């Protein structure tokens, strides 16, 4: 134990002394901190950027065949007026389209999304009786505007668009929806198979059968009937009437009435033609301008780890390829994991570069390799400590939060560098004394750490609180910049604590042996020869220096006034989203033509890897796009 007269020492000096006197305890707590940081690093959610979306719940209601005005009066208006009274709902927006309605309930910041969804369901249950017959409002997926994390398309040389859409809707969609973290799998493009009954009104009138009777006959004929049990030969058999429609021939033989003269049945084929055709389309997908295609959109559940969800989807798609027809291929149209991995790699490279620079500076100025290990140890340890708090607080690792750590790295290492340099100075002076007058090694380390430790700690705290004004931001601004402020604050706070606990202990173990003074270092001597004349000139001509500084400061006013402003910083993510709009009321045929033309032009650029065009909406409540809106996802080739 190192004993000193600490009656006048402050709290930080006493903490430094306690750390040196309890080395094992400090090292053990540091190991636990590192282990907790590694666990948090592996389990923290990872995404490309902060989610700027409001806490919202979407009510999606289908009202087939009805125009926007009818949908507004009978569905959207009753829903919006009822949802105004939902607790903590700040805004309610209703949109009416041809055949469906969408109502968005925006909640106050901080509202739990699943609590909000349960409140909306409660209010919907009391509203069901006011809806038109056969209309049932449903909640949209528990996702946000950033939930579209992965998109793919289906290619085939022999399968048509209807067959590919059936594979997507009845096979891939269910397999991928079962994955953890996937809220919904939306389909886009192709043709949805539909039995179409085209009735001849003249034939129907000649038999005197109303249209409503035909509709009821089709509905009643598409059903299985359950009977009782029949026992024969010591076995029992279930009696059933099989009546589900499986093909066009079944529809043709549906009896819709009988002849009053002969009593013979009248079949559906006597008054109508039955075809297999596509359902009404409100969305089209195109691939590279080569023609229509069928696509799928993976929508991530709120709060999930985007990187893990994407990896699960890609692994599952690889497994499902063996179950697909031989010539059906799954091609990636958009993959956010590339951007996420780029952000993580950027932090890794920044941390590695900082460690190299710090090590190099310490070695060339102190000429002592082991001293660099103290500063090298501090950087990753402080970052891991920040990850623990991030994981506990629910902040995911994204470009902004990792950027906060990258910003803090430069200041985090200052404390360790100063502590190492001061320990060198004290040990060098101690080595110049006679053997009998030298202090014990740990006493020298304690004196050096207590000399600069408290000022360093408080200076790091000042830097730590410098981002406090960012925490006052609200709404989208707060959601964008608060993760950066949080992680920068946590990293600096961790570095400040490490500087007065584990760093003095490491100094005692690593900063040992023969030390060279500053006068013996040729680099230090060279820099001092340059530095001293400059300082002498500045001190003698201080008024001139102040005047020049004032002129430079005033000169910055002109570029400041001409600077532009952007809410989002420039970001190269390797993908582009091209979103033009056409005139309202465009037909599906013309929309398909325009989409294919634009995609073909974009694909001609040599930098473009693939073009996935979408006009209209996908089959999801998170996509309210009309048929006049084009959304083209452009994947660029690597640099």
pLDDT recorded at residue 315: 92
Neighbours of 638 (CB within 10 A): 6
- In three-state secondary structure terms, 276 is strand
Output the DSSP codes for 446-474: HHHHHHHHHHHHHHHHHHHGGGGGGGG--
The fraction of the chain above a pLDDT of 70, given in percent, is 95
Convert the pLDDT of each residue in 597-609 to its tens digit: 999 999 999 988 8
Between 39-48, 190-199, 348-357, 549-558, the lowest mean confidence (pLDDT) is in 348-357
Distance CA 396, CA 401 (A): 8
Backbone angles phi, psi at 410, to 5 degrees: -60, -40
Share in percent of the chain as helix, strand, coil (round to 5): 55, 20, 30
Q: Is the pLDDT of residue 152 over 90?
A: yes
Distances (CA, A) of 93 to 76, 103, 410: 9, 6, 46
Q: Is the pLDDT of residue 460 over 50?
A: yes
The fraction of the chain above a pLDDT of 90, given in percent, is 8
List the structure tokens of 119.
């409140």
List the structure tokens of 94.
């209703």
Q: Is the pLDDT of residue 136 over 70?
A: yes
CA end-to-end span of the chain, whole Å? 58
Q: Could you tell me if 511 and 427 are in contact, meaning their C-beta atoms sit under 8 angstroms apart?
A: yes
- Any idea which residue has 């004349």 for tokens? 533
Q: Which of 237, 502, 201, 510 is nearest to 378 (CA)?
A: 502
Neighbours of 258 (CB within 10 A): 13
Q: Could you tell me if 400 and 484 are in contact, meaning their C-beta atoms sit under 8 angstroms apart?
A: yes
For the segment 92-119, the average pLDDT, to the nearest whole number, is 88
Domains of the chain (ranges; CATH) run 11-48+375-520 (1.20.1640.10), 54-143 (3.30.70.1430), 195-278 (3.30.2090.10)
Number of residues written out for the chain: 639
- Any idea which residue has 């606990």 for tokens? 501
- Any idea which residue has 């089709």 for tokens? 218
pLDDT recorded at residue 515: 65
Q: What is the dihedral of CA 585, 591, 594, 595, to 10 degrees?
A: 130
List b or e across 79-118, with b for residues whose CB sees 16 or more CB atoms inside 10 angstroms: bbebbeebebbeebebbbbbbbbbbbbbbeeebebeebbe
DSSP E strands: which ranges in 108-147?
138-139
pLDDT recorded at residue 104: 92
Q: Could you tell me if 375 and 511 are in contact, meaning their C-beta atoms sit under 8 angstroms apart?
A: no
For the segment 527-534, the average pLDDT, to the nearest whole number, is 79
Distance CA 398, CA 400 (A): 6
- Any idea which residue has 């055949």 for tokens? 99
67 contacts: CB under 8 Å, gap ≥ 6: 98
Q: Could you tell me if 523 and 418 are in contact, meaning their C-beta atoms sit under 8 angstroms apart?
A: no
Q: Is the pLDDT of residue 404 over 60?
A: yes
The confidence band for 569, taking pLDDT boundaries of 50, 70 and 90, is low
pLDDT recorded at residue 517: 63
Number of DSSP helices (H) and strands (E) in the chain, helices first:
21, 18
List the structure tokens of 504.
């003095």
pLDDT recorded at residue 103: 92
pLDDT recorded at residue 313: 92
Angle at 131 between CA 129 and CA 134, to 5 degrees: 100
pLDDT recorded at residue 259: 77
pLDDT recorded at residue 7: 46
Q: Could you tell me if 109 and 474 are in contact, meaning their C-beta atoms sit under 8 angstroms apart?
A: yes
pLDDT recorded at residue 566: 66
Between 107-111, 161-165, 382-386, 469-473, the lowest mean confidence (pLDDT) is in 469-473
What is the 3 state secondary structure string of 622-636?
CCCCCCCEEEEEEEE
- In three-state secondary structure terms, 516 is coil
């Amino acid at each position: 134990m190192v004993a000193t007269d600490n009656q006048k020492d402050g709290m930080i000096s006493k903490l430094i002394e306690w750390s040196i006197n309890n080395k094992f305890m400090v090292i053990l707590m540091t190991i636990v901190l590192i282990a907790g940081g590694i666990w948090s690093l592996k389990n923290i959610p990872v995404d490309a950027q902060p989610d700027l979306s409001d806490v919202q719940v979407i009510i999606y209601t289908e009202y087939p065949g009805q125009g926007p005005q009818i949908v507004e009066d009978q569905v959207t208006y009753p829903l919006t007026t009822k949802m105004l009274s939902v607790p903590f709902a700040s805004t309610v927006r209703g949109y009416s389209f041809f055949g469906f309605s969408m109502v968005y309930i925006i909640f106050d910041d901080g509202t739990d999304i699943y609590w909000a969804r349960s409140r909306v369901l409660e209010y919907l249950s009391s509203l069901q009786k006011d809806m038109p017959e056969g209309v049932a409002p449903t909640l949209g997926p528990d996702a946000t505007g950033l939930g579209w994390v992965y998109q793919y398309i289906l290619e085939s040389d022999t399968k048509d668009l209807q067959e590919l859409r059936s594979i997507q809707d009845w096979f891939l969609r269910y397999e991928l929806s079962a994955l953890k973290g996937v809220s919904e799998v939306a389909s886009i493009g192709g043709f949805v198979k539909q039995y179409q009954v085209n009735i001849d009104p003249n034939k129907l009138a000649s038999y005197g059968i109303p249209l409503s009777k035909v509709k009821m006959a089709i509905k009643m004929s598409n059903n299985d009937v359950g009977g009782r049990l029949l026992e024969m030969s010591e076995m029992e058999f279930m009696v059933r009437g099989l009546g589900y429609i499986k093909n066009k021939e079944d529809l043709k033989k549906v009896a819709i009435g009988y002849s009053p003269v002969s009593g013979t049945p009248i079949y559906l084929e006597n008054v109508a033609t039955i075809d297999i055709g596509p359902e009404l389309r409100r969305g089209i997908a195109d691939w590279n301008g080569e023609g229509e295609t069928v696509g799928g959109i993976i929508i991530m559940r709120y709060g999930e780890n985007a990187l893990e969800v994407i990896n699960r989807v890609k692994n599952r798609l690889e497994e499902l390829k063996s179950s697909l027809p031989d010539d059906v291929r799954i091609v990636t149209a958009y993959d956010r994991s590339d951007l996420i991995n780029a952000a993580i790699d950027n932090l890794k490279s920044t941390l590695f570069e900082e460690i190299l620079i710090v090590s190099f500076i310490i070695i060339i100025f102190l000429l002592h390799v082991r001293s660099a290990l103290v500063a090298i140890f501090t950087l990753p340890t402080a970052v891991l400590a920040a990850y623990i708090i991030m994981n506990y607080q629910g902040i995911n690792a994204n470009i902004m939060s990792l950027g906060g750590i990258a910003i803090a790295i430069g200041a985090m290492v200052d404390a360790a560098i100063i502590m190492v340099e001061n320990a060198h100075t004290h040990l060098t002076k101690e080595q110049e004394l006679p053997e009998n007058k030298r202090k014990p090694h740990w006493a020298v380390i304690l004196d050096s750490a207590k000399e600069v430790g408290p000022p360093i700690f408080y200076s790091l705290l000042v830097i730590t609180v410098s981002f406090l004004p960012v925490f006052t931001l609200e709404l989208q601004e707060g959601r964008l910049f608060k993760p950066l402020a949080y992680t920068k604050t946590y990293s600096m706070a961790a570095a400040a604590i490490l500087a007065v606990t584990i760093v003095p202990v490491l100094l005692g173990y690593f900063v040992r042996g023969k030390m060279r003074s500053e006068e013996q270092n040729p680099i230090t001597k060279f820099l001092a020869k340059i530095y001293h004349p400059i300082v002498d000139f500045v001190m003698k001509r201080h008024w001139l220096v102040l005047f020049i500084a004032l002129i430079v400061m005033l000169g910055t006013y002109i570029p400041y006034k001409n600077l532009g402003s952007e809410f989002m910083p420039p970001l190269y993510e390797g993908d582009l989203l091209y979103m033009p709009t056409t005139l309202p009321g465009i037909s599906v045929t013309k929309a398909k033509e325009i989409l294919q033309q634009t995609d073909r032009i974009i694909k001609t650029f040599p930098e473009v890897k693939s073009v996935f065009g979408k006009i209209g909406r996908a089959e999801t409540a998170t996509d309210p796009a009309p048929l006049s809106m084009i959304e083209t996802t452009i994947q660029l080739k690597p640099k």
